[in-house]
Structure 1
Amino acid sequence: MEAMFWIYVSASTVASAGMYLTLWSTQVFPIQSMTPVWVFPAYPLLLTAPLAANLVTAAAASNRLGSINTVAVSVAAVTAQGTGFLISFMICAAFIYRLMTQKLPRDAQRPGVFISIGPSGFTAAGLVQLGLYTEKIFPVDFMGTQHAVYILKLLAYMTGLWLWGLSIWFFLVSVGSLWKYLRPEHRRKMPFQMTWFSFVFPNTALVTATEQIGRAFECRGMQIFGCVLAGCIVVVWVLVFGCMVKCLWRRRL
């Protein structure tokens, strides 16, 4: 699994840079058509910290931490995760500029607004989960001081809180952008498209981040809130999948 982690980090880094380079070399995207979908080529990088955190968690649960290089895995994961988040953050800044100058995307593109939740949510989840295991990841005298482990834990938790708050903010904006479609006269303006899956997968980042923060701060309310969000995600996924099957059956996809 450690070997697969290094393969994933290498492949995701090359793929992300290659996809953006290809887009920038062959396509022109005007700002008025900008949506958070532009973040997608950076998404492989945004899963490295959650992947490393789950690898460390599984090794700790099975008493096999000595079989992997925890320091190298964690540092590489934070590096790749930070790269992906900074790329996504700059793109989200461009998206906010687009919203300030062009208003919300048109009806068919509106579900894609939820994609803006993913970068901060996945980064918060990965950092906080790694922070839970800092004592097991790093040696006691890491960086020449006995306080490094506790400093890294505190940094992971505080950074996770900031990014979790950002993902909550984007979630509220995304939900608010769809509020008008609850009215019957607007409901027909957004028929099912594959972009509806943006209601599901970016929000998994918010769910996992909420659960990890609940664990880190031993907050029962946050853990329950995360479980409720997870249940809602399952319901939404079933509904979206059902709509997709229905459209496939009627040849309207």
Structure 2
Amino acid sequence: MSSLLGLVLHLDEYREHRALLTRFYTHRYAFRGTLADPEEAYLIPTAALGFATILFGIQVYGVPSCGEWLGYVQLVLFWIYVAIATCLAVGLNWHLYRSRMATRQPFCLVRLLPSFPAMLAGTTASLLAKTQPTHFSIPILIAGTTLQGFGFMISIFILAEYFWSLHYDGLAPMRRRPQMFIAIGPPAFTAVALMGMAEIAKNKFPIYYIPTASSVNTADVLIILTVFLSIFLWIFAFFLWMIGWLSIFAAHHEWKFDITWWATVFPNTGFALATIKIGDLLDSAPIKWVGSAATIIQVLLWLGCFGLHIWAYFTRRTLWPGMDEGFGPDEHVDQSLDMEGNISVHKTHSP
């Protein structure tokens, strides 16, 4: 099931970034405009998420079939990824703060994205450290824990803003509601990362890794703590999952596919992975069945979004000038937005 969900993640990121590269190649000024566009600037870190997904694929499908050399390549790529994730978390967030981009971004949860690559470092570390020698795997696990903690702490403040908005402004317009699932990512992927790294620590950490706690096995304590902490995070992710689906089904008469529906795929995959991992570590058959059901839902979501995206493209309802970027959920676009990012639209607020 985990391999199937990994394939879903890989296909999702491949689809997104192939389209972006085509756009930037054919319109040379589009990337520069992206940095100043509140609808696009926050999505730049998704390129790093694609990098992490490539590392997942190499680790799962490549390393077992190749020689020892690929493991060393993965080691180098991991530290490159750590550097990229750190630069994005610091540099891009600083740019967004400096330009007060949040004042022009209509949906607060999108502000989680600059910290998402850092948050995915823990999941990446839990996969890569397994096949590395101990003297390499321990620094990987420490780095993964560090960046995972940073990303999760940043997300807490943005989630607080999100809940404040729900209480005082109510639910977002239907066009934004698929993005409500972004909130699931921090607790779900943090649970996945912590459990994965704790499992690896049993084989990689010395028995008494913490010198001042020499009476207990460090890895045993770590895995017990992470399992119960992950259950704590899982129920929070489940609450966000239910709020997201209730909000979408409550506005079913307004359904209209656009690219924001892809937000139902990536974060919910983390929720499914966390469910599967908890079931495995507790050896609970009912939880494993729930994980299997979550996996089936995710595959159906990906297939549905993919099919609707192809239909929407050929009917010019998405990925066409003026149809995706440059306007908020409460605005109507009378003219189009060109592909170079130059705004040539007349906007009027909907009644």
Residue in 1 aligned with 2:122? 49
Please state whether the residue corresponding to 2:257 is helix, strand or coil. Answer: coil
Gaps of 5+ in 2: 1-73, 319-351
1:227 aligns with 2:292: yes
Gaps of 5+ in 1: 60-64
Task: Give CA deviations for 1:39-63 in whole Å, capped at 9, x if unaligned.
Answer: 1111101111111111133x1xxxx
d(CA) in 2 for partners of 1:31, 1:172: 28
For 2:250, the aligned partner's letter is K
Q: How many residues align?
A: 242
2:269 aligned to which of 191, 196, 204 = 204
For 2:246, the aligned partner's letter is G
Q: How far apart are residue 245 of structure 1 and its match?
A: 0.5
1:125 aligns with 2:192: yes
Q: Pairwise CA RMSD of aligned residues? A: 1.7
Residue in 2 aligned with 1:173? 243
Residue in 2 aligned with 1:244? 309
1:154-165 mapped onto 2 (5 Å cutoff): 154-165=224-235
1:82 aligns with 2:155: no
Task: Give CA deviations for 1:187-220 in whole Å, capped at 9, x if unaligned.
Answer: xx23111000011111010011111111111112
Deviates further, 152-161 or 113-122: 152-161
Task: Give the number of the structure whose alpha-carbon radius of gyration is greater.
Answer: 2
For 1:17, the aligned partner's letter is V
1:150 aligns with 2:220: yes
Per the normalisation by structure 2, the TM-score is: 0.66
For 1:102, the aligned partner's letter is D
Assess if the C-alpha contact under 8 Å between 2:195 and 2:226 holds in 1: yes
d(CA) in 2 for partners of 1:9, 1:118: 19
d(CA) in 2 for partners of 1:155, 1:214: 16
Assess if the C-alpha contact under 8 Å between 2:258 and 2:317 holds in 1: no
Assess if the C-alpha contact under 8 Å between 1:114 and 1:198 holds in 2: yes
Q: How far apart are residue 31 of structure 1 and its match?
A: 9.8
* Cα distance change of structure 1 residues 7 and 208 upon mapping to structure 2, 3 Å threshold: same
Q: How far apart are residue 174 of structure 1 and its match?
A: 0.7
1:30-109 mapped onto 2 (5 Å cutoff): 30=103, 33-57=106-130, 59=131, 65-66=132-133, 69-109=136-176
d(CA) in 2 for partners of 1:68, 1:47: 22
Assess if the C-alpha contact under 8 Å between 1:127 and 1:160 holds in 2: yes
Q: How far apart are residue 181 of structure 1 and its match?
A: 3.0
d(CA) in 2 for partners of 1:10, 1:165: 32
For 1:137, the aligned partner's letter is K
Q: How far apart are residue 133 of structure 1 and its match?
A: 2.6
State percent identity of aligned pairs: 27
d(CA) in 2 for partners of 1:150, 1:196: 41
1:8 aligns with 2:81: yes
Assess if the C-alpha contact under 8 Å between 1:211 and 1:223 holds in 2: yes
Please state whether the residue corresponding to 1:33 is helix, strand or coil. Answer: coil
d(CA) in 1 for partners of 2:76, 2:261: 35
| Structure 1 runs of 4+ with >4 Å offset | none
For 2:83, the aligned partner's letter is S
Assess if the C-alpha contact under 8 Å between 2:108 and 2:161 holds in 1: no
For 1:118, the aligned partner's letter is G
d(CA) in 1 for partners of 2:278, 2:80: 29
For 1:178, the aligned partner's letter is I
Assess if the C-alpha contact under 8 Å between 1:131 and 1:156 holds in 2: yes
* Cα distance change of structure 1 residues 32 and 69 upon mapping to structure 2, 3 Å threshold: closer
Residue in 2 aligned with 1:136? 203
Assess if the C-alpha contact under 8 Å between 2:96 and 2:102 holds in 1: no
